[in-house]
Amino acid sequence: MNPLLPELGLVLWMSVAFLVVLFLLKKFAWKGIIKALNDREEFIERSLKSAEEAKAQMSDLKADNEKLLIEARKEREQILKEAKEMKEKILSEAKVTASEEGNRLITSARSEIDKEKNQALADIKKQVAEISLEVAEKVIRKELSDQSAHESLIASHLEQQSN
Amino acid sequence: MQQASIQQFRVNLKSFFFVLIAMFMTSFSAIAEHAAEDHQEEEGFNAGEVIMHHVMDNHEIHIGPIHVPLPIILYSKEKGLDYFMSSHLTHGSSYKGYAMVHEKIYHVGPDGELSHDEHGHVVGERPLDLSITKSVFGMLLTMGIMLFVFISISKSYQKRQRMAPQGMQSFFEPLILFVKDEIAKPSIGKKYEKFLPYLLTIFFFIWIGNMLGLIPFIGGFNVTGNIAVALVLALFTFVITSVNGNKDYWKHIYNTPGVPWWLKFPIPLMFVIEFIGFISKPVVLTLRLFANITAGHIIILSFVSLIFIFNNLYGAGGGYGVSILSVAFSIFMFAIELLVAFLQAYVFTLLSALYFGSAVEEHHAH
């Protein structure tokens, strides 16, 4: 009973069984397990990398959006400003045309008035001439009767007319 | 999810320890019975003999009080192949011209008796003993467990590609990754994948074998603590190292670069030193595994034997008194042996990986 002496039978059993098991495990277990582990490792690494890339893209997109927003804001301001200017311009233009129109109307009215007035004056002159003629007729007729009466009559007529 | 599985694992581990300790306690009675039975005719209790009997190989398995006979297979040139159950050879009886003394089988002489020399030792021819002994059975059991476990988890890896491990997979995956990433990769380098199947196989063989030896009550296997098993494992490592050794590896042995010439000529001192190193690697690999595992078994059995020794010396009171300390110490040793079971598997695998690494390493400058 010496535990330091290896039994030949056990050595043979162990060698044969170990070789068989090594072969079987290598073929049916380790190959698949190691491949699956490596695959998964690679997959995880790749997924992490793509996640990182997606994150970067996302932040890029966000920056782009911000830029777009700023630009849009700027454009809006620009448009608003332009609209304001336009409004002012239109307003002032309208004012100018309105005042021009007014002036034109006024002048035309004035000329009309002048025309009417002249016409009226001409009419009056004509009437005065007629009335004068009538008066002269009447006076002539009266002169036949009373000199003074004629004079007063002409005077009163004239007064009436001038009123 | 991860947290939950770790929690589950801890709970499982805890209950595993309790079961182990409980089984250990019950095995005391088995050992006591066995000891009593073996030494009925003798006066007292021979602790050394009982311990050696349990540590060494056997032609039967003791499961509790039951002795399970194992098949005996013998080969000799004269008689050819013979096989029968070991129950025929127990208690010194001879069968088919064979007799067994101290677990060694001899051819009996023509008178049907074994001849002894003047010291009482048996002299006689021994046939080649290819029996399924306790250690062979334990070894086959370990390998069977390995085949079942790893082929089935390989299947679940194929079924659940790129998914988190589950069940048995999640128990063994950290260990497989440990061997792959902590042992093989750093020790061997780029070419580690070639050696990985072998490293995984020896790691799990030694670990499961060690654990099998720690389960009490099922026969007290001492597979990895048997020098033949350790020797074969070490020889496999040695052969793989030598087969894969590149030019640099061999040159390092027969003509070590970077040492003064007078260390090589006229006396090849460097070669002698390197050659001793070359040969001693498998030897220390064998002895380390064998000694560590066997010593653990011997210590635990010694603590248990103390109970019977004190029982014989001081009566039942002494036995009961010492049993308190003995149980405490053996449980402590048991916990350490669980660690050693893993540690020895790790050390053996790591050293193998380092040897492979030195065999395939490319030397650029010294």
**A-contacting residues in B 171-190 (Cβ below 8 Å):** 173, 176-177, 180
Higher per-residue confidence, B116 vs A68: A68
Which pLDDT score is estimated for A153? 74
* H or E, element range at B116: strand B115-116
Which pLDDT score is estimated for B21? 55
Shortest distance between the Cα of B238 and any Cα of chain A, in A, equals 13
- Collapsing DSSP to helix, strand or coil, B128 comes out as strand
Shortest distance between the Cα of A52 and any Cα of chain B, in A, equals 19
Which DSSP string corresponds to B50-110? HHHHHHS--SEEEETTEEEE-EEEEEETTTEEEEEEGGGGGGG--BTTEEEETTEEEE--T
Which pLDDT score is estimated for B53? 81
What are the residue ranges spanned by the domains of chain B?
A: 71-131, 135-360
Shortest distance between the Cα of B161 and any Cα of chain A, in A, equals 7
Rounded to two decimals, the pTM is 0.74
Which pLDDT score is estimated for B76? 85
Average pLDDT over residues A80-104: 94
What are the beta bridge partners of residue B115?
Answer: B123
State which residues of chain B have pLDDT below 50.
1, 26, 29-30, 32-33, 36-42, 366
Q: For residue range A29-46, list pLDDT tens digits in order.
A: 999 999 999 998 999 999
Average pLDDT over residues A56-72: 94
Which pLDDT score is estimated for B12? 61
Which pLDDT score is estimated for B1? 46
**ipTM for the whole predicted complex goes beyond 0.90:** no
Average pLDDT over residues A48-56: 95
CB–CB contact B177 A29 (8 Å): no
Angle at A138 between CA A137 and CA A144, to 5 degrees: 95
Which pLDDT score is estimated for B55? 83
The mean pLDDT of chain A is: 89
Tokens standing for residue A62: 């966000």
Q: In 3D, which of A156, A150, A158 has the Cα closest to residue A127?
A: A158
What are the residue ranges spanned by the domains of chain A?
A: 13-162
Higher per-residue confidence, A20 vs B114: A20
- pLDDT class of A142 with cuts at 50, 70, 90: low
